[in-house]
């Protein structure tokens, strides 16, 4: 397999074809092997990554910055006060200027339209490190983790339990591209965007992936190969936290839910976790849980992505 991704952006996981996603995953496998052999080639030597943050993050900042360092490059952290996207300067001007200094841009933002505009006006590759609508880097790490543990993706039954948020959107796109059946289980009033569901379902017809919605957690989890969850209130939704706790209480990943899944079902969580809410601590520490392998794989999947986008 040889797919050329040089110069491309990753704004949404739907931007990449099945072959392109597999190119990232297979490249990540090789880079991870080198990482553990202490044979990390300096594939990003003399390259600079500009990291634009509207939202703080442990995993996103550390994984991108450490990845650039390990591969011989350099990362610059730009905090919300450094840039003030759309306030001090337009997104267009920021994209053009930063493109003159850096070889690649990663942005972790609130509004999805910000990363869309960055990609539109930048002359270097732009990576969506998270937006309110999508989290494609996380899903590349998730797919890598599932593939490592199960040896395949096609035909697996994947169930996301919780809020129909940016994670749900990107997971549907990713599953559809690789032929993995995906059920998003949420309360009726918290379902993912209908247009995104329809797009993912259409994509899934090509690979045989079934993308479905469910409101009953036990019905959704029955026989599942993978159970995935995320926080019930994302950053910026703090004022809804108590209301959401009440609505999502029956959607906790716990021993009862896991009892109806496949005996070897993987447990994933993109972190940070609110133990006792979307997942109980005991369940997060069972042998089925791979949440910390998943967190590590942010590093390897993103390294592969940066290497491929910069050529």
Asked if residue 229 has a cis previous peptide bond (ω within 30° of 0), the answer is no
Residue 247 phi, psi dihedral angles, 5° rounding: -70, -35
Catalytic residue among 8, 59, 61, 108: 108
- Gap between the Cα atoms of 68 and 169, Å rounded: 27
Q: Indicate if 54 belongs to the active site.
A: no
Q: What angle do CA 182, 188, 190 make, to 5 degrees?
A: 75
Q: Indicate if 61 belongs to the active site.
A: no
Break the chain down into helix, strand, coil percent, rounded to 5: 50, 15, 35
| Cα end-to-end span (Å), the chain | 16
Q: Indicate if 108 belongs to the active site.
A: yes
Catalytic residue among 8, 61, 112, 135: 135
- Gap between the Cα atoms of 251 and 159, Å rounded: 12
Q: Indicate if 135 belongs to the active site.
A: yes
Q: Which of 97, 94, 177 is nearest to 139 (CA)?
A: 177
- Gap between the Cα atoms of 154 and 208, Å rounded: 8
Residue 59 phi, psi dihedral angles, 5° rounding: -65, -45
CB 75 within 8 A of CB 64: yes
> Helix crossing, 166-178 with 136-150: angle to 10°?
50
Catalytic residue among 181, 269, 298, 300: 298
Q: Indicate if 298 belongs to the active site.
A: yes
Which neighbouring-strand residues pair with 51? 77, 106
Catalytic residue among 54, 138, 252, 302: 138
Which neighbouring-strand residues pair with 229? 161, 269
Q: Indicate if 8 belongs to the active site.
A: no
Catalytic residue among 23, 182, 230, 269: 230
- Gap between the Cα atoms of 9 and 310, Å rounded: 10
Catalytic residue among 137, 182, 185, 270: 270
> Which are the catalytic amino acids?
108, 135, 138, 230, 270, 298
């Amino acid at each position: 397999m040889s797919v050329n991704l040089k110069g491309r952006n990753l704004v949404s996981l739907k931007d990449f074809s099945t072959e392109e996603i597999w190119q990232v995953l297979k490249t990540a496998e090789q880079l991870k092997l080198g990482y553990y052999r202490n044979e990390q080639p300096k594939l990003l030597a003399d390259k600079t990554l500009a990291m634009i943050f509207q939202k703080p993050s442990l995993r996103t900042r550390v994984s991108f910055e450490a990845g650039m360092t390990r591969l011989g490059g350099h990362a610059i952290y730009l905090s919300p006060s450094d840039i003030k996207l759309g306030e001090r300067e337009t997104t267009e001007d920021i994209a053009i200027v930063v493109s003159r200094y850096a070889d690649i841009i990663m942005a972790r933002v609130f509004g999805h339209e910000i990363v869309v505009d960055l990609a539109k006006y930048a002359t270097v590759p732009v990576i969506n490190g998270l937006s309110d609508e999508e989290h494609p880097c996380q899903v590349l790490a998730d797919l890598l983790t599932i593939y490592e543990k199960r040896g395949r993706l096609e035909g697996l039954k994947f169930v996301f339990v919780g809020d129909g948020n940016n994670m749900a959107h990107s997971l549907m796109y990713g599953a559809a591209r690789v032929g993995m059946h995906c059920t998003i289980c949420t309360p009726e009033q918290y379902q993912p965007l209908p247009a995104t569901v329809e797009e993912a379902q259409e994509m899934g017809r090509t690979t045989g992936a079934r993308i479905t919605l469910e409101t009953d957690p036990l019905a959704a989890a029955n026989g599942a190969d993978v159970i995935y969850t995320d926080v019930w209130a994302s950053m910026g939704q703090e004022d809804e936290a108590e209301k959401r706790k009440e609505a999502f209480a029956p959607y906790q990943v716990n021993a009862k839910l896991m009892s109806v899944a496949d005996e070897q079902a993987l447990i994933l969580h993109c972190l940070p976790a609110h133990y006792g809410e979307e997942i109980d601590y005991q369940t997060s520490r069972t042998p089925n849980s791979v949440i910390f392998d998943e967190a590590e794989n942010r590093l390897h999947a993103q390294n592969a992505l940066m290497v491929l986008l910069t050529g």
